[in-house]
């Protein structure tokens, strides 16, 4: 997984390819089910990206590493800033459509990890079982109202944890950071904060910008940086010493992720007179509850919705596999 060790590579093409990878990675982090690592594979810069992180965190500042990190991080940041709002609205108002697509995108990552793993053995199966059970448990806890960060009322610590979790999965091919944010109930709050920052910049409103930066962007960003540094080095250590068990665990995470993505659910406003976050819901208070904070309930799908869901799942699988195939050619 090591990249080149000299500085002979032309920097302009390297920066362009890194920026393309960063753009795809930014889109992936907005969409639960798509792995940021898979997007970097598609652009052919994943080995260089991991090498660049390892070098910079050990205070080795080669120009190629700086160019790769600048291209990936800059393009990913632009993609996230510009598209966070539209993606959030799609999830809130078209949940079953988006979740169906997320399932397909997630399942499309299974062959990627399986190819890296090769034939299954006891260590790989054991790691896969642990990963599946862990992810399934998180999904069950999330459906019962825990351990989420409290939706839009989450504090600094929860945004920091969310950044750590998202970054941890961001660099692992086939594992989606956006899905982990969904499980932690931090996906929509983070997208809302990023969208608020964009609106504040558009309106040149210092107060709105400061609130978005201090409340969401700063703690999440700190978590992302810490997560990338820690996980990239930890992953290298685990793969060197416990490679098959580690890859099996990643495979189990992917399979378990689908448990929490049942598509046929929708947000419904709390009933009048019910208790919502410690307060009785009244007509006045109901109007103040954002649609993204509404509790979700399962519904009986129509035949068209079932057919559409299956089609979207297959489309998601095909998309992830297609991107992975391009990445294989790039490597």
How do the domains of the chain map onto residue ranges?
A: 11-269+294-330
pLDDT score for 5: 43
Flag whether pLDDT at 136 surpasses 50: yes
Q: Do 142 and 185 contact (CB within 8 A), yes or no?
A: yes
CA distance 18 to 72: 5
The residue-averaged pLDDT of 48-69 equals 85
CA distance 269 to 277: 13
Region of 330 (left: φ > 0; alpha: ψ -120 to 50; beta: rest) is: alpha
CA distance 252 to 133: 8
The per-residue pLDDT for range 173-186, each reduced to its tens digit, is 656 677 677 767 77
The overall average pLDDT reported for the chain is 78
The per-residue pLDDT for range 196-242, each reduced to its tens digit, is 888 888 888 888 888 888 888 888 888 888 888 887 778 778 877 88
The per-residue pLDDT for range 14-31, each reduced to its tens digit, is 888 888 888 878 877 776
The per-residue pLDDT for range 79-122, each reduced to its tens digit, is 888 887 787 778 778 888 888 887 887 787 788 778 878 888 89
Find the radius of gyration of the CA atoms of the chain: 20
61 burial level (CB within 10 Å; 0-12, 13-18, 19+): exposed
Give 42's contacts (C-beta < 8 A, 6+ positions apart): 21, 24, 323, 324, 326, 327, 330
Q: What is the DSSP letter of 110?
A: H
Flag whether pLDDT at 152 surpasses 70: no
Q: At what angle do helices 156-170 and 187-203 cross, to 10 degrees?
A: 100
CA distance 146 to 256: 17
Mapped onto helix, strand or coil, the DSSP state of residue 109 is coil
145 phi and psi angles, rounded to 5 deg: 95, 10
Q: Do 48 and 3 contact (CB within 8 A), yes or no?
A: yes
Helices (H), 171-275: 177-183, 187-203, 206-212, 218-257
pLDDT grade for 331, boundaries at 50, 70 and 90: very low
pLDDT score for 205: 85
pLDDT grade for 316, boundaries at 50, 70 and 90: confident
Nearest Cα residue to 153 out of 271, 295, 282, 277 = 277
Cα dihedral value 163, 242, 139, 290, nearest 10: 10
The residue-averaged pLDDT of 135-156 equals 61
The residue-averaged pLDDT of 44-71 equals 84
CA distance 194 to 216: 7
CA distance 274 to 307: 35
Cis peptide before 147 (omega within 30 of 0): yes
CA distance 330 to 76: 20
239 burial level (CB within 10 Å; 0-12, 13-18, 19+): middle
The per-residue pLDDT for range 159-173, each reduced to its tens digit, is 888 888 777 767 766
Nearest Cα residue to 26 out of 158, 194, 232, 251 = 194
Flag whether pLDDT at 321 surpasses 70: yes
Flag whether pLDDT at 318 surpasses 80: yes
């Amino acid at each position: 997984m090591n990249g080149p060790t000299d500085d002979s590579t032309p920097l302009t093409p390297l920066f362009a390819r890194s920026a393309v990878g960063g753009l795809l990675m930014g889109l992936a982090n907005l969409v639960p089910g798509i792995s940021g690592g898979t997007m970097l594979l598609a652009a052919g810069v994943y080995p260089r990206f991991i090498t660049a992180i390892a070098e910079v965190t050990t205070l080795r500042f080669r120009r190629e590493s700086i160019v790769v990190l600048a291209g990936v991080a800059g393009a990913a940041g632009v993609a996230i800033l510009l598209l966070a709002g539209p993606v959030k609205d799609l999830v809130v108002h078209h949940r079953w459509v988006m979740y169906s697509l997320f399932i397909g995108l997630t399942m499309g990552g299974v062959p990627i990890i399986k190819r890296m793993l090769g034939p299954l053995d006891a260590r790989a199966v054991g790691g896969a079982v642990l990963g599946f059970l862990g992810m399934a448990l998180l999904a069950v806890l999330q459906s019962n109202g825990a351990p989420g960060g409290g939706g839009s009322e989450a504090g600094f610590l929860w945004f920091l944890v969310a950044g750590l979790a998202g970054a941890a999965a961001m660099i692992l091919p086939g594992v989606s950071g956006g899905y982990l944010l969904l499980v932690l109930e931090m996906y929509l709050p983070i997208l809302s904060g990023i969208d608020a920052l964009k609106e504040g910049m558009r309106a040149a409103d210092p107060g709105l910008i400061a609130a978005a930066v201090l409340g969401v962007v700063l703690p999440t960003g700190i978590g992302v940086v810490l997560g990338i540094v820690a996980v990239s080095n930890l992953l290298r250590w685990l793969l060197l010493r416990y490679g098959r068990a580690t890859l099996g665990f990643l495979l189990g995470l992917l399979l378990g992720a689908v448990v929490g993505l049942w598509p046929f659910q929708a947000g419904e406003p709390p009933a009048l007179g019910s208790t919502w976050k410690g307060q009785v819901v009244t007509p006045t208070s109901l109007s103040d509850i954002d649609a993204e904070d509404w509790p979700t309930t399962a519904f009986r799908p129509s035949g068209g919705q079932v057919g559409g869901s299956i089609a979207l799942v297959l489309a998601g699988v095909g998309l992830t596999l297609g991107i992975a195939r391009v990445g294989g050619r790039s490597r």
